[in-house]
Amino acid sequence: MLERSQALVVGSINMDLVLQVGAPPRPGETILASHAELLPGGKGANQAVAASRLGLRVRMAGLVGDDAVGAALREGLAREGVLTDTVAGARGMSGMAAITLMPDGENSITVAQGANGELTPAFVEGLPAEAFACEVLILQLEVPVASATLAARRARAAGAQVLLNPSPPCEGTGELLPLSTWVVPNRLEAEMLTGLADPAAAARAVLQQGPQAVFVTLGAEGALVATRDGERLVAAPEVRVVDTTGAGDAFLGALAYALCQGLDPFAAASLATLAGAAATRRRGAQAALPTLDGLRALGYAG
């Protein structure tokens, strides 16, 4: 019998190589990084840690390689209070990501799936039913979309809500979107999902596919929230940006917390934009993720 959790994350677990550069390299150009660092990452793991730091009891379901990196990633999640009894090992390398970080805090990311590519529907089918007896399932698409879809079906059948971050965008989300309670793309992902460049129009188009709310994250501009009752732009607080890598994952973790607290989408977006902004103030996807006390120090009244 598994310990009950409030949130289940089915997704990717990576080790990130962060390279700080003055400007991105041009084709054929070799440049020197001013700083390099190995840090735990992966959208799934980041979002699990983000929700755990806000006080949720979180279980991670995913795969790491049978290498030293995999052992370190599993241990790191456990130190953050994340339940790892459904993190399994796979032959070969763990997931890896190369993150090029610019002086303004913006980044570009290249991911090698490694063990994450083995997170098949058979793996999801093999997860214990108790794992889905939670309040919210958190999904991203750094794992096969068929696996995410099956996880969403199992979660909905167990009475859980589904929080979907459709990143990176891919084919085959037609079955997944109607199973999702809240959907959270960034501006580019919303356009790629719908073919619509206007965030509000894109949010409305995604909303028509079944979710209760759509949050299009807009970086420093905040987030555009669309529900069947209307739309609203929720502004983000001004902060000194060091690294944007973990901002979206902090946003997701805060939304998971908000779902479990029963907050409405607009109140949830206010909390999430604060969490996303807070996460840009330090380097590293997981190192910068805020706690609830940290958000209260920035003005959150919850």
Gap between the Cα atoms of 197 and 200, Å rounded: 9
Lay out the sheet containing 107-112: strands in order across. Answer: 35-41, 14-20, 95-101, 107-112
Q: Are β-strands 107-112 and 95-101 bridged in parallel, bridged antiparallel, or unpaired?
A: antiparallel
DSSP 147-175: HHHHHHHHHHHTT-EEEEE--S--S--TT
Is 249 a known active-site residue?
Answer: yes
Question: Catalytic: which of 243, 249, 264, 293?
Answer: 249
How far apart, in whole angstroms, are the C-alpha atoms of residue 51 and residue 119? 22
Q: How far is Cα 152 from Cα 162, in angstroms, rounded to an integer?
A: 6
- C-alpha distances (whole Å) from 210 to each of 15, 26, 183, 234 are 34, 42, 10, 22
Q: CA 215, 219, 222: angle at the middle one, nearest 5?
A: 55
- Number of Cβ within a 10 Å radius of residue 24: 12
Active-site positions? 249
